[in-house]
Amino acid sequence: MDRVTVLDGGFATQLSVHVGKHIDGDPLWSARFNATNPNAVFKTHLDFLEAGAECIMTNTYQASIEGYMEYLDLSEAGSLQLIKATVKLAQMARTKYMADNDVRRVPLVVASIGPYGAHLHDGSEYTGEYADYVSMETIQKWHRARIDACLEAGVDVLGIETIPCQMEAEAMLDMMTEEYPHVRFWISFQCKDSTHIAHDENFADTASYLWNKAKLQGNGNLVAIGVNCVHPQFVTPLFRSVNEKRPTQERIPLIVYPNSGEVYSVDSGWQGKEDCVPLEHYVEQWVELGARFIGGCCRTYARDIERIKQTVNTLQL
Residue positions forming the annotated binding site for Zn(2+): 229, 297-298
Contact 34, 41 (CB under 8 A): yes
Neighbouring residues of 175: CB distance < 8 A, sequence distance ≥ 6 = 140, 143, 144
State the Cα–Cα distance between residues 224 and 205, nearest whole angstrom.
15
Does residue 276 sit in helix, strand or coil? Answer: coil
State the Cα–Cα distance between residues 316 and 197, nearest whole angstrom.
31
Report which of 144, 166, 45, 36 is spatially closest to residue 97, judged by C-alpha positions.
45
Contact 312, 54 (CB under 8 A): no
Task: List binding-site positions.
Answer: 229, 297-298
Contact 202, 243 (CB under 8 A): no
